[in-house]
Amino acid sequence: NKPPYKMGEIHPKPHAILLPYPLQGHVIPFVHLATKLASNGFIITFVNTESIHHQITKSRFQSNHHEEGGDIFSEARKSGLDIRYATVTDGFPLGFDRSLNHDQFFEGIVHVFPAHVDELVGKLVQSDPPVNCLVVDTFYVFSSSIAKKYNLVNISFWTELALVFSLYYHMDLLRKNGHYDHFDKREDIITYIPGVEAIKPSDMTSYLQTDPTTIVHRIIAKAFADVRKADFVVSNTIDELETQTISALQKNQPFYSIGPIFSSGFPTSSVATSMWSESDCAPWLDTKPEGSVLYVSFGSYAHTSKHDIVEIAHGLVLSQVNFVWVLRPDIVSSDETDYLPTGYDRLIEYCGLIVPWCSQISVLSHPAIGGFLTHCGWNSILESIWSNVPMICYPLLTDQFTNRKLVVEDFKIGVNLCDKRSITREEVAEKIKRLMCGKSSNDFRKEIKKVRKTLENALAIGGSSHKNLDRFVKDVKAKIR
Ligand code: UDP
């Protein structure tokens, strides 16, 4: 039963390795990209780190009593998609706390992980049919060297806004003009980034607002030097949302916006991606009137202060709305776990549900949800728009500040949580009411429907993302031959 080609010969199908960054907000769009590419004729070998694999399968086991271990794509394969699955060590033992030992972990991702990936790719290029494309998260610093070594098409997947890509891409320009890495940083509006009309320094990603002293700064600098060598960049954005920025980027290298990258059946996906066990919020939401519940979540990764959590907790009560609040046990960066006001449980008995983690897409698409207090992760924003749910923006880290600008200033589908530096409970309550009640609420709802329609049109046959994906598939195939 030998295949009708020999090793080393070109197989007509592209066979791509997909390697997401080992964080929840990256694994999810990578899984969606895997099913999208497989539906378009690719063979996919999806690679998770052993640690991510272990966490996903453990949480799946806890949520649904599935078997622990196994292959997260087994269900997707039943529908005929050729998605294979492999794991690779990140160099740390499973019990190592990657979030607590953040810097050590990221040093390992730069200095130890690449050798493990190299070894795995070396094996996969001998698989049947051989791998011919490498689709790697833009934040990895080693893509071009591995792609070159094994003669693979080098595809960078950018899971965020093109605007954020562009800011990092032009880091040197920001430095030269004194807006980044400068002893006397400029605070005026930035108008010289190609394709970016104007942006305030405070709307740049947090890493461009601080001096480049951390390991993450070094990773970003190296990654954005490396991405220039990619054959193709695909991005989880939409042409119509960032027309000028994307056109400018396309002058540097092929850049395809194919977002929003959801599995075909959003909000449900047959592939397990959740890194924590999901609490079922539906029975509680079912008892609440339509549009009456505020969903509150700060994503998988960002931390905040006890002060902010306490003010938000009081603000929620003062606002008198119903709410579902995802409070990860590690949300406060200090060791403290007892951060809610005393007696809070009793205070919110009828109006609030606090859970450590949930299926966000299921919650957002529940009819009871009327608003989302979000940290502005890009996946969260896309999911909120897709569910027609306006937002209150509370950015904490990285690209969240830039994403906030789009939501509040460009699309007018949300408000800032606080206009000053420090959060007060009164302001929290006032912003919640502005989002959830009266004329302002109707205005947000009207605007978000328009943006949702833009996303929907982009994904439809003949829409921009649909056409870009077709073009991407064709260009990759041409590059392989
Ligand atoms: N998410 C989830 N359950 C939660 C909180 C978040 O499933 O309780 C998912 C959410 O749907 C999104 C991802 O985790 O797809 C978070 O990505 P995002 O870019 O919004 O933020 P990050 O976690 O990367 O900061």
Does the C-beta of 259 come closer than 6 Å to ligand 1? no
Whose Cα sits closest to atom 15 in ligand 1? 379
Residue 20, H or E segment: none
Q: Are strands 255-257 and 293-297 parallel, antiparallel or unpaired?
A: unpaired
- Residue 143 Cβ inside 6 Å of ligand 1? The answer reads no
> What one-character-per-residue DSSP string does 270-288 give?
SS---SSPPB--HHHHTTS
The predicted complex's ipTM stands at: 0.99
> Which has the closest alpha carbon to 291: 404, 111, 438, 182?
438
What number does the ligand 1 atom closest to the CA of 356 have?
A: 8
Cα 375 to middle of ligand 1, angstroms: 10
The residues with which 135 forms a beta bridge, in sequence order, are 18, 155
DSSP output for 324-357: EEE--TT-BSSS----SPTTHHHHTTTTEEEES-
Does residue 380's CB lie within 6 angstroms of at least one atom of ligand 1? yes
Residue 400 CA, closest ligand 1 atom number: 25
Q: Give the span between the Cα atoms of 436 and 392, in whole angstroms.
A: 10
Would you write out the chain's pLDDT as a tens digit for each of its 481 residues?
Answer: 444 445 555 556 899 999 999 999 999 999 999 999 999 999 999 999 999 999 998 887 666 645 555 778 887 788 888 999 999 999 999 999 998 899 999 999 999 999 999 999 999 999 889 999 999 999 999 999 999 999 999 999 999 999 999 999 999 999 999 999 998 999 999 999 999 999 999 999 999 999 999 999 999 999 999 999 999 999 999 999 999 999 999 999 999 999 999 865 544 467 888 889 999 999 999 999 999 999 999 999 999 999 999 999 999 999 999 999 999 999 997 777 788 999 999 999 999 999 999 999 999 999 999 999 999 999 999 999 999 999 999 999 999 999 999 999 999 999 999 877 789 999 999 999 999 999 999 999 999 999 999 999 999 999 999 999 999 999 999 999 7
Residue nearest to atom 2 of ligand 1 (CA): 360
Give the Å distance between the CA of 55 and the centre of ligand 1.
Answer: 15
Which amino acid residue places its CA nearest to atom 9 of ligand 1?
Answer: 360
Cβ–ligand 1 distance for 302 under 6 Å, the answer: yes
Residue nearest to atom 16 of ligand 1 (CA): 25
Task: Please tell me the distance from the alpha carbon of residue 390 to that of residue 10, in angstroms, as a whole number.
Answer: 49
Ligand 1 contact, 371 CB (< 6 A) = no
- Residues 275, 56 contacting (CB under 8 angstroms): yes
pTM score above 0.90? yes
Tell me if 296 CB under 6 Å of ligand 1.
no
Closest residue by Cα to residue 131 from 150, 114, 156, 149: 150
Residue 263 Cβ < 6 Å to ligand 1? no
Q: In angstroms, what is the span from residue 25 Cα to ligand 1's centroid?
A: 6
CA dihedral 45, 47, 53, 59 (to 10 degrees): -60
Does residue 48 line the site of ligand 1, with CB under 6 A? no
State the distance from the centre of ligand 1 to the C-alpha of 241, rounded, in angstroms.
Answer: 21
Backbone dihedral angles phi then psi of residue 157, each to the nearest 5 degrees = -105, 120
